[in-house]
A and B are shown apart, each in its own frame.
Chain A
C-alpha cells in the first residue's frame, strides 16, 4: 500500500515499547508471523517481565526522543513471575500521577496487557498508540532542548 507523500516537516511519532518476554513480546512476534500490518513507528525493548521496568528508562526514552512509550505485559493473573505486572501497574500509576501533577504529558505513557496469543491486539494497540501520539504532536522534551 503506497503511503501518502510526506512533506519534510511531517511529524512521524516515535514510540518506544517495553515488552515482556512471555506475553506481549511473543504477541508482537505473532503479529509478525501472521502478517498483521501495523505502523513501523514502534521500537521494541525486550524485557523478561513488565515488572522489570524501572520508570527511569521510561522517562529517559521520553526525554531522549520518544514521543510515546508503550509498556506491554501479561494480563493480570497471567504473569509468569506471579506479580510482576501488578507491580508494573503501581509504578506506571505513580509515574502518570507525577507527570500529570507537574503538568507534563502523562498521556504519552501507555500500559497494555497483551498475551502471547493476541497478535491482532498487539497490532491494533500499536495503531492506537501511534495515531493518538500523532495527534498529540512531538514530545515537549523534544521541542525544548534544555530540558
Chain B
C-alpha cells in the first residue's frame, strides 16, 4: 500500500511541477494546489498506513494509527487553502490591473 501511494505521490508531484513551470497564472495556482495534495499524502504515508485503529481513545483499541501526521496535515490543509485563496485573488487583481494572465508577458512589469 505504502509503495503504491508513494508512486502516486510521484505522479502528483510531476504534474504539479509541470503546471508550476507553465506560463498561465491559473495553471501555476492549480499546480500549487496539486502539490499540496501530494504533500498531504506524503505526510500520511510517512506515518505508516492502516497500522491501527482511528486515533480516538474512546475506541479502546489495542493500537492507534499515528496521530501526529494527521495533526500536521490538518494544519497544512488549512494553510494551503489560505495560500490558494490568496493566489487566486492576486491573479484576479493582476488581470484587472494589467489585462494579462501570462507570466512571461507580465515579466518586468514595473508600474506600481
Are A and B part of the same complex?
no
